[in-house]
Every structure is written in structure tokens, then in C-alpha cells.
Amino acid sequence: MFKNRAKIQNNITQILYFCEIFLKGMFSLYIKELKAFLSSIIGYIFIGVFLIVSGLFIWVFPNVNNVLESGLADLQGLFNLSQFLFLFLVPAITMRSFAEEKRTGTMDYLLTLPLTDMQIVWAKFLACLTLLVIALLPTLVYVITVYWIGNPVGNIDMGSTWGSYLGLLFLGAAFIAVGLFSSSLTNNQIVAFIIAALLCFILSFGFAFIYSFDALGNFGYYLKTLGIEHHYSSISQGVIDTRDVIYFCSVIFIFLYSTRLVLLSRKW
């Protein structure tokens, strides 16, 4: 019994040590990537376009997502609109991640650093995700506004709202993973943007489009569940289902691991 306990403790110690080394090596590159975003115009364009467009459609332009026109104390319009904005904005911030490194020749230097391919991929992924979180933070003003203009004051389902924000983070993270994979395939940023946007669109609406023909019967429904739209529409309602969480985590892992395989292919 004591031998087993000692063996378990030793395994845990080794795992913690590995995690510490992995995170330390990744952190410096993560900071470098984040600084690159915040010191260039790309990061600010992403944040500015997202906030301006979402603000106009949520509060100014007459449309189905306008909070004042709907008369409902919720921000469902923001989460519906953000899905379409992310289709174009997220590929715009990921397109340079590997493509620019290849074009300028700095990719060779990056690969000589004492970092594993997975550390490089995760560092770039987390930097992009941090920028996305920074873009979302100002929208909390919308939550406060709806809270105070509700009748009565506070007439907003905060649980559903926070659940929807979580869904939006999962959606953005999935698109980032797709964008990094697309950027690793080419040294041209425009090509990387187009590939990422197409893949995100297909993953979001392609399976639902096939299902709409209603020609595959029950199989069509299972095919629909492979699409991001099916899972995002559920979680954006504030319903946190473990199946949706597992789906998004799986998509993220698949594309990040595929990105790693593309980087490894240089050795083949």
C-alpha cells in the first residue's frame, strides 16, 4: 500500500514538474506574441472593428439584434452577431501567426528555440485568445446598460448572459485554432485568411446546410451535430451542456494538433 502511494506521489511530482517546464518555456513566447499584437495596428483594428460594428448593430441600426427595438432585456443579439463577426475578424488576427514567420524567415529562428512545437502552437493560441478576451471586456458595458434600463431594474438573466459569454469564448477559441492551422499551411497571409474564413464558415454552417435538405433522415441530424452552429446555438442560450463543452474542446485540440503536425512535417 505504501509502495503504491509513493509511486503515485512520484508520478504526480513528475507531471507537475513537466507542466512547470512546459509553461515556463511557453510563457516568454506568449508574452512576445501578445506584445506584437498590442504594439501593431492589427490588434487595435480587431478590437475597434468588433466594438464599433457590434455597438452600432446592438444600439443604433434598426435590425433584429437591436436591444432597444426588441424590447427585451437580454443581449442575445450580441451573441448572434458576434458569431458572424468572428468568422472574418478571427482569421484576420491569426493569418500572420505562422505565415508571416515563414515569409520573413523568422520561422527558422523560432524553431531553433528550446521550445517544443506544441509550446509554440499553444503560445500563439493563448496570445490570440487573450486579444479576443480584451475585445470582449468592453462589452460588459452593454450588460450594465441592459441591467439598468430593464423594467424593473435588473430584469436580465445574468446566468444566461454569463453562459452565453462562455459560449462566445469557446467559439472564438475554436476559430483561433482553425486560423492557426490555416496560417501554418502557407507563407501568404491573404491565403491563410481565405482558408481560415472558409473552414470556419464550413464548420459553422456547412453541416446545418446539408441537414436543411432533409434527405438523410436521422443521419442528417447526427451530421448536423458535427457543426459548430448546433453547439453554439445551444450554449449561447446560457445552457451549459457537457456535450457542447467536449465538442468545442475537441475541435480546438484537433486543429492545434494538426498545426503541430504541419510544423513537424518540415523534418520529414
Summarize pLDDT for 222-268 with one digit per residue, the tens: 677 788 887 888 887 777 788 889 999 999 999 999 999 998 876 55
pLDDT at residue number 2:
46
Q: Per residue in 122-160, pLDDT tens?
A: 999 999 999 999 999 999 999 888 888 877 777 777 878
Task: Flag whether pLDDT at 28 surpasses 70.
Answer: yes
Grid cell in block for residue 37: 499584437
CB 59 within 8 A of CB 148: no
pLDDT at residue number 75:
83
18 versus 150: which is more confidently predicted? 150
How far apart (Å, rounded) are the C-alpha atoms in residues 85 and 88?
A: 6
Q: How confident is the model at residue 67 (pLDDT cuts 50, 70, 90)?
A: confident
Is residue 21 in some structural domain? no
CB 65 within 8 A of CB 77: yes
Is residue 13 in some structural domain? no
pLDDT at residue number 18:
47
- What is the average pLDDT across 165-181? 94
108 versus 182: which is more confidently predicted? 182
CB 226 within 8 A of CB 239: no
Total domains in the chain come to: 1
Is residue 71 in some structural domain? yes
- What is the average pLDDT across 172-186? 94
Grid cell in block for residue 42: 492589427
Is residue 18 in some structural domain? no
pLDDT at residue number 253:
95
Contacts of 249 (CB under 8 A, 6+ apart): none
Is residue 60 in some structural domain? yes
Looking at the chain, the whole-number percentage of residues with pLDDT higher than 70 is: 82
206 versus 203: which is more confidently predicted? 203
Grid cell in block for residue 25: 518555456
For the ranges 61-70, 109-118, 182-191, 247-256, the lowest mean pLDDT is seen at 109-118
Is residue 20 in some structural domain? no
Is residue 43 in some structural domain? yes
Q: How confident is the model at residue 11 (pLDDT cuts 50, 70, 90)?
A: low
Is residue 12 in some structural domain? no
Host domain of residue 141: 27-267
pTM: 0.87
CB 163 within 8 A of CB 176: no
Contacts of 236 (CB under 8 A, 6+ apart): 76, 79, 80, 83, 164, 167, 168
CB 81 within 8 A of CB 54: yes
How far apart (Å, rounded) are the C-alpha atoms in residues 244 and 250?
A: 10
Mean pLDDT of the chain: 82
